Homo-oligomer: A and B are copies of this chain.
């Protein structure tokens, strides 16, 4: 067998032997079932005493990287060979819980692994090539300098004061959200805001009303908190308030830009929803994930800004306006909720990395974020025009778009029954990535359609991409 070990100096001999053999096994250089030299022999070869070799072997044994067979010697037990072994008896007791968790899986979780098409209409993925690299690097380096001052202490679980201040201003300015910084809770993405609200406000078995269709990661999250999730239909004005169960403790809505359909909630519907919440004792979660990008008309008032009863929690994020990998989300909560939410954040994970919080605060404070939103908004406006033109033109026989004036996706509903899986499959063969609307529905009333994100596709690529889609549709018709 091949076993080249290099011993340097006279210190940490057992470590040195252990580490090199372990790495050889992990990397596959030592194959499963290979025999190791007896410790005495190896010690002689290396010119060291037998004790450190024995210690290394024992540690390898503890790690099950090497198995001893009485009277025969020590044999490599490669991790790949361990992988197939059945779960331990002890874990079998947890099997029901583990199976439940597999059921809670978020259908969007694995998007990271998916290869993208040349023309890809993935949603929720902001334009990477327009990311303001220089401004962001400057903000991070300023944050590195700021951090020198007070290191090695846990920070405020509700978020760094400077970030809470800039977030309060941003939400007030861009969305008319009312609330001083003491009511802002910084979260690790909007997803954690939903999680903390579920923790604090839901008893097991409590009812949560969600729009149908809706963001599946939210629906699955509420399920994982053992809530009863009630999908409520939406019409052209938004969630159908009469269909919200009376006992719903939380109502999760996307008023500025319904996810994924795209329309805004009407003023009348907003008032009706606020009245419902105030009367029934429900708390409304207003998820405003991307409405900083706006193309037509005056920004509608946020539900939270209209709320007179302190029943709305506004949830926002930098994932869409800046980038998802940043993991900066936030909520502006009614005063009575702010402290319990900070406690829940503390117990969940204390707080997010301060470097990122410092950098985000700096990036917002110095105007970089608003500049970026304005710049990217112009880019998106052009892409949106191209997309709407395509659906009003070549694709009009098959699809009609849902009116939407914010964000960076539009939804196109099928005018008549289509074999959507086939459409997506054939388009993909033409290197066009399409995404079905259906998976966002929980209830039976799923509409056929496409969710067309325009964060990841250039303006000039949109007409040829839609031309390919038209060709596929014609082929399917014939």
Contacts and interface: CB of A to CB of B under 8 A. Distances in A.
Interface residues of A, number: 121
Interface stretch (A255-263, A339-347, A437-445, A460-468): A339-347
Interface string A276-308: 011011110000000000000010010001101
A348 B195 contact: yes
Contacts of A301: 59, 62
Given A278-B90, A324-B153, A62 B306 contact: yes
Nearest to A148: B133
A164 interface: no
Counting chain B CB atoms within 10 Å of each CB, which of A189, A201, A355 scores highest?
A: A355
A217 interface: yes
Interface in A169-200: 169, 172-173, 176-178, 180, 187-189, 191-192, 195, 199-200
A108 B327 CA distance: 25
Contact of A153 (B63, B112, B148, B344): B112
A435 to B, nearest CB: 14
Top 9 A-B residue pairs of the complex, sorted by shortest distance between their CB atoms: A93-B281, A88-B310, A101-B340, A63-B178, A87-B336, A192-B349, A188-B349, A128-B151, A325-B354
Contacts of A131: 151-152
15 contacts: A79-B180, A85-B335, A87-B335, A94-B200, A97-B340, A101-B340, A104-B344, A109-B157, A112-B156, A137-B141, A140-B355, A154-B324, A188-B188, A191-B347, A353-B353
A102 B335 contact: no
A108 B347 CA distance: 10
